[in-house]
Structure 1
């Protein structure tokens, strides 16, 4: 059993979506941090332990796919599961996200129950590769 609640980092530049997601995850008992930029996400991941990262593909500045690549290369973050948020359900975009290193994909707006299921699955020991 975990000594503390799992920490989830939400990298989302839409304040409303970030707040709704953080609120939902906090209700489920997770510790949640939100940042608006990929650069802030990298800095936070270097400073503290994060159990799951949720990345929006359409961030201002460094895009989500580039952030995923950076996290995959990081010594502290290369095994951290990544869930992608995107408004684009196209197969091409989904494949690019998985090739970059994402472990799951969620089209926004999303069903909160689906978010919960995906996070629980990403946190389960069987999911870690």
Structure 2
């Protein structure tokens, strides 16, 4: 396990998906916090320096796309990279996520290696080379 000082916030209301994702990220050496809703996510983003936010688009209450919009218009978080999660691979859903401000998209359930690659690219884009 490598150590990282990067802090990742996972916004996921499915407890199993949240636990699996947090466990995987912790194995990779990241500091991780999971929350179930947009209000908690916004509070954490105001209180802490977050390096990446992973957001489930199908959240209850304030939906994932709306949360992405709010993070993009907030001066404190508008540069924080966002990875959108969804069970929906439809092109229009993916386009809506990118239009809202997500920097990448991952269909769940996901391949852990794909998650790791996307996170590495989002957190340290200058360190990842194109193949």
TM range (shorter): over 0.9
> Is residue 112 from structure 1 mapped to residue 116 from structure 2 by the alignment?
no
Q: Residue 59 of structure 1: SS of its match in structure 2?
A: coil
Q: Residue 110 of structure 1: SS of its match in structure 2?
A: coil
RMSD over aligned CA atoms reads 1.4
Q: Residue 126 of structure 2: SS of its match in structure 1?
A: coil
Instruction: Give the superposition deviation at 1:120.
Output: 0.2
Q: How many residues align?
A: 125
Q: Per-residue CA shift, 1:38-93, capped at 9, x if unaligned?
A: 11000100000100000000001000000000000111100000000000000000
The 5 Å alignment of 1:1-129 reads: 5-126=5-126
- Structure 2's unaligned 5+ residue stretches are none
Runs (4 or more) in structure 1 with deviation over 4 Å come to none
Instruction: Give the superposition deviation at 1:126.
Output: 3.0
- In the alignment, the residues of structure 2 paired with residue 57 and residue 38 of structure 1 have an alpha-carbon distance, to the nearest angstrom, of 11
TM norm structure 2: 0.92
